[in-house]
Amino acid sequence: MNATGLSLAELARGLRSRKFSAVEIVDCCRAAHERSEPLLNAWKSWNGDAARLLAQSVDGLFDSGMDFGPLMGLPVSVKDLYGVPGMPVFAGTDQALPAAWEAAGPVAGAVLRQFGIVMGKTHTVEFAFGGLGVNAHWGTPFNPWSTDGQRTPGGSSSGAGVSLAQGSALVALGTDTAGSVRVPASMTGQVGLKTTHGRWPLAGIVPLSPSLDTAGLLTRSVEDMAFAFAAIDTPCGESRPVCAMPSLAGLRLGVADNFFWESLDPGIGESVSAAIDQLARAGAHVVRLRVPHCDEVYDIFRQGGLAASELAAFMNMEFPERIERLDPVVRARVAAAEQVSSVEYLRRKQVLRDCASRATAVFADVDALLAPTVAVTPPLLDDIADGAAYARANMMALRNTVIGNLFGWCALTLPVGFDARRMPVGLQLMGAPMAEARLIGIGLAVEALIGRGPDILGRAPALA
């Protein structure tokens, strides 16, 4: 069977009708891993043998008429910040964290309780502090769309998008503090969801910035995202959220004339604009507007925002002996945060709260905001070897995504085409706080019009 050619819903139905088995699905993912993992380096720890044993047990449960939830028997990759019992947590560092971090929190627990099959842990930037996906300790995953050298896969959930492109997993758990789900999803041609801060509990996830951290998902299509979000969002036994697809006719879609369209690399704006034009021709009401305070909050982010100070505090309390061993691109920002006073930190929090309150008012007039997800082409690793070059590229990679974090919004990215370098381009949909189901529904309408990622992009060159 070809598991990667079927949606999650189709796979779930096939498992329950016994058209095919969980072992067959897992074997497809194992074969994909075997074909390309030495090149792609998506995985920090691969759990393929144990996953197959679990799949055998899952098939036995299905044969006995037992059903533990929508994700039962479906292969999942887990970012190496999440606790999963029996699997070490490295959080991108050079040494495993204490075993207490292996305890599953509510998000990973939702997968495990449903007998979703964890295929392993995917690479992350150290302590998730970076948007390009590099890691000096374990190597940077290879973006499978690269044809002219190794380009970044996006971060910090760097292995997550690569695992989906590879076909070694069909759903990926990630986290997003400034864009760490959406950037790798956009750069590898996947769909990514940043949930509203506070919607999903952060227990069982190594923190970067508790003020901004969110758990999120990457999938191969918006259709799959609707399935996975509903499976994880609501405890078993309660009614699950419905991501209903609205008619495009009458949808109010805002396009910001400021900030998001500045300094785009060639081909990015053109691909996103073409998708928006399609939506307008299909009946969507496209509204041009200005989103207030973007420059103001981005300036705070460029100064270190809240994350640098909060990670520095966490490191000093939990792992002071590791600070000198941090990846240089992370260590530099942790060191800089030591110079931020408590007064300045609290000032930043208040400014962000005030700006968010005023900016969120735009959703009184539109159902969603549309923008390019990432402003730049994934850079070549050779071009960001210098620290200053890395810092510039990292800021630009996160530029368009971090606004949603700083304003407390939810956001979704889906692929819409290629840039001038033939690298995937994402369209970002941003929604009001706690409007995930509505936002995914709009994403479904967009996907129904322009096509699923694989239909638009085809197969990544490194996997052809």
Query: Among this protein's residues, is 180 annotated catalytic?
Result: yes
- ∠ Cα 280 377 143 (to 5°): 110
Q: What are phi and psi of 305, to 5 degrees?
A: 55, -140
Find the catalytic residue in 77, 156, 158, 309.
156
Collapsing DSSP to helix, strand or coil, 300 comes out as helix
Find the catalytic residue in 21, 146, 180, 221.
180
Amino acid at 18: R
Dump the DSSP string for 402-426.
Answer: HHHHHHT-EEEEEEEEE-TTS-EEE
C-alpha 361/C-alpha 38 separation (Å) is 48
Query: Of 192, 200, 213, 238, whose CA–CA distance to 439 is shortest?
Result: 192
Query: Of 154, 223, 165, whose CA–CA distance to 190 is shortest?
Result: 165
Cβ–Cβ < 8 Å for 179, 405: yes
Collapsing DSSP to helix, strand or coil, 432 comes out as coil
C-alpha 296/C-alpha 388 separation (Å) is 23
Query: Among this protein's residues, is 19 annotated catalytic?
Result: no
C-alpha 122/C-alpha 420 separation (Å) is 29
Cβ–Cβ < 8 Å for 411, 404: yes
245 DSSP 8-state letter: P
C-alpha 79/C-alpha 137 separation (Å) is 16
Query: Of 92, 185, 200, whose CA–CA distance to 139 is shortest?
Result: 92
Beta bridge partners, 285, equal 252
Query: Among this protein's residues, is 17 annotated catalytic?
Result: no
Instruction: Using the Cα atoms of residue 342, residue 347, residue 350 and residue 352 in order, give the sign of their dihedral.
Output: negative
Report strand pairing: 252-256 vs 191-194. unpaired
- ∠ Cα 216 191 56 (to 5°): 75
Kindly state the tokens that stand for 376. Answer: 């730049």
C-alpha 159/C-alpha 141 separation (Å) is 6
Find the catalytic residue in 36, 44, 79, 221.
79
C-alpha 286/C-alpha 95 separation (Å) is 50
380 DSSP 8-state letter: B
Q: Kindly list the catalytic residues.
A: 79, 156, 180
